[in-house]
Amino acid sequence: MIRRKQRVAAVCVLLAALGAGLLPASTAVADEPGGDEGPKVELVIDVSGSMRKRDIDGKSRMAAAKQAFNEVLDAVPDEVRLGIRTLGADYPGDDRQEGCKDTRQLYPVGPLDRTEAKTAVATLAPTGWTPIGPALLKAADDLEGGDSTRRIVLITDGEDTCAPLDPCEVARELAAKGIGLVIDTLGLVPDAKTRQQLICIAEATGGTYTSVQRTEELSGRVRQLVDRAAAPVVTPSPAEGSDRCSAAPRLKPGLYSDRQEFGQHHWYRVDVPPGRELRASVSVAADRAVDDDYGVLLRAVSAKGREIVRGTEAGDGRTDVISTGLRLPTPERESSDGAGEAEDEPETICLQVSHSFSAPDAVKTAPGLPVELAVELVDGPSEAGDVASFGLGRGWWFLGLLALTGLLAGLLWGLLSRLRWRSN
């Protein structure tokens, strides 16, 4: 019996060694903890008197915000250092000077104790003023220190009541410091003035604005923004599209931002080397009131005007962003003199971006809607047909290693079974 256990143990050790030896080296270190501090996020919640209004899913705005916060706190990634700050939570009086000081940190930025944070949120009751500008300044101080990403998520149902400290100017000043702070804004059932102010705050720091009408929308959007802080996106580079391909800017792989007015078509150019695959995607944001039916089109066209491939997406109802994308493999090309050597000259591909958003007559059409265009060049499939990796590895070599591992494991398992049969 002891000898049989020893054999089993030896086989298990051998299988573990084979598995460790055949896996790529990058896998062995993938779980090593990093020394960098986690990303920092502070949720800034409006607790002013107007949050008593009952117009979100039949309950008060404050109740909807608390429910959303509880759902968000349950889903915060472990690496995120999260804090909560209030505005208008403590001073119920009419003294404007005192009311505009009414902001405090409800939960400090750091590792999250979900129970403690939920208990703190449960104590909130709609009280006073809406000092957005002072709250943003204090929130920026709360996030100071370290080199990690920093994000403020502002949730309010009204515009600032503490002018002349304009919160939009506060956001511009914070952006000018170059500390990489992004402010995202969410308006709870916002009116036109609130929407305009929150859009200005977000745009000043490269953040986003979202209009919220339901509890589910609020919790989903806040959770998305917190997740984005944990996996920050690349800051897009400005690129002004042209009305024709021949005058369009040449784009290298990366993320680009532009503005596109209603009814415009913008063109961009990408040089795709032979054997590479072009992957492009575009997102158009509705940062103002728009009509219900809309769509977005991304076309890849040859330099001679022939359409090669297109991506489209359409929808109806209220939306914040609509996106689509395309993939274009470029095969290797033989030399024109018949010598058999592949040509290295890249092919110019023209990308056309169009959208079918329209707006009511009272809505301003300028500036155009925000556009983000992502361009990527990857190794394309060879004539022999490479295998897509999808996170497991690339090409035939990894499949070969998996097959070899399976073969050896089968042989060892057969040997183990045979030894067990003999011992019985």
Contact yes or no for 132/87 (Cβ under 8 A): yes
Q: How many CB atoms lie within 10 A of CB 390?
A: 7
Contact yes or no for 67/215 (Cβ under 8 A): yes
The per-residue pLDDT of the chain, averaged, comes to 81
Q: How many CB atoms lie within 10 A of CB 282?
A: 29
Q: pLDDT at residue 31 above 50?
A: no
H/E stretch holding 8: helix 2-22
Please give the residue that has the higher pLDDT: either 334 or 6. 334
| Domains defined for the chain, CATH in brackets | 40-230 (3.40.50.410), 237-333+342-379 (2.60.120.380)
Q: pLDDT at residue 25 above 80?
A: no
pLDDT, tens digit (0-9, with 9 covering 90-100), for 138-189: 999 999 988 888 999 999 998 898 878 899 999 999 988 878 899 999 999 8
Predicted local confidence at residue 413, as pLDDT: 67
b/e 99-114 (16+ beta carbons within 10 angstroms → b): bbebbebbbebeebee
Contact yes or no for 183/143 (Cβ under 8 A): no
Contact yes or no for 43/82 (Cβ under 8 A): yes
Say what the pTM is.
0.54
**Cα dihedral sign, 216-218-221-227:** negative
As a whole number of angstroms, the distance between CA 135 and CA 140 comes to 9
- Counting residues of the chain whose pLDDT is more than 70, the rounded percentage is 77
Q: How far is CA 78 from the centre of its chain?
A: 17
Angstrom distances, CA of residue 5 to CA of 408, 418, 419, 422 = 20, 14, 11, 14
In DSSP terms, 327 is beta-bridged to 279
Predicted local confidence at residue 395, as pLDDT: 41
| Degrees, nearest 5: CA angle 310-311-316 | 135
Across 373-382, average pLDDT: 79
Across 332-348, average pLDDT: 65
Q: pLDDT at residue 407 above 60?
A: yes
